């Protein structure tokens, strides 16, 4: 059967990287973190890219990554929170795999990421209401892009991963 990638999308702090890491540790599923990949390629952090080149340049890098992503093995790719906002990115992900949206409430997100400092969009806006607002602006597009939606509030990585694997299998064709 055809091997397909799993693209984890969702708001910052929804659990994408944590879950991709867990799927690797527990099931040996290969994983790739888009932000980390871009940081390595560019030799600088996402925050530096935003500060030095602007957001549009970073968005171009995301699209270039997805267009050229051509691994033969099935990967779990954790995407930056802005990735689905570009329709071209959604088309690329659709072609190459299944899109899983991780969702958490703004208060959960806020509690998870309030002390972190590597997300330029939130650096001077780290409040629950800002998160809620940005999530509202993005939600319809996220939902539209998703093949599968899994909520992550008050759940551990085991529960979330099990649901992802069940739901992606139900969609068929994987591995």
Q: Which residues bind ligand S3P (CB under 6 A)?
A: 12, 16, 35, 46, 80-82, 119-121
Any idea which residue has 């999530």 for tokens?
Answer: 135
Q: Which helix (H) or strand (E) holds 77?
A: strand 75-78
CB nearer to ligand S3P: pick between 137 and 171: 137
The C-alpha atoms of residue 58 and residue 46 are separated, in whole angstroms, by 8
| Minimum CB–partner distance for residue 80 and ligand S3P (Å) | 2
The C-alpha atoms of residue 7 and residue 90 are separated, in whole angstroms, by 10
CA nearest 76: which of 119, 118, 18? 18
CB nearer to ligand S3P: pick between 51 and 175: 51
| Minimum CB–partner distance for residue 109 and ligand S3P (Å) | 10
| Minimum CB–partner distance for residue 159 and ligand S3P (Å) | 21
CB nearer to ligand S3P: pick between 72 and 115: 115
The C-alpha atoms of residue 87 and residue 102 are separated, in whole angstroms, by 18
| Minimum CB–partner distance for residue 84 and ligand S3P (Å) | 10
CA nearest 93: which of 27, 144, 41? 144
CB nearer to ligand S3P: pick between 16 and 96: 16
């Amino acid at each position: 059967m055809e091997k397909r990638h799993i693209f984890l999308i969702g708001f910052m702090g929804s659990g994408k990287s944590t879950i991709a890491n867990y799927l690797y540790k527990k099931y040996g599923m290969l994983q790739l973190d888009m932000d980390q990949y871009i940081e390595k390629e560019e030799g600088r952090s996402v925050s530096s890219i935003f500060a030095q080149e602007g957001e549009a340049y970073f968005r171009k890098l995301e699209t270039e990554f997805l267009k050229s992503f051509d691994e033969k093995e099935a990967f779990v790719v954790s995407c930056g929170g802005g990735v689905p906002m570009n329709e071209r990115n959604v088309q690329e992900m659709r072609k190459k795999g299944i899109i899983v949206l991780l969702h958490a409430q703004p208060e959960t997100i806020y509690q998870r990421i309030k002390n972190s400092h590597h997300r330029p969009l939130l650096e001077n806006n780290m409040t629950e209401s800002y998160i809620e607002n940005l999530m509202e602006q993005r939600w319809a597009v996220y939902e539209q892009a998703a093949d599968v939606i899994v909520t992550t509030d008050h759940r551990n990585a085991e529960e979330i991963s099990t649901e992802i694997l069940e739901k992606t299998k139900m969609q068929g064709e994987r591995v």
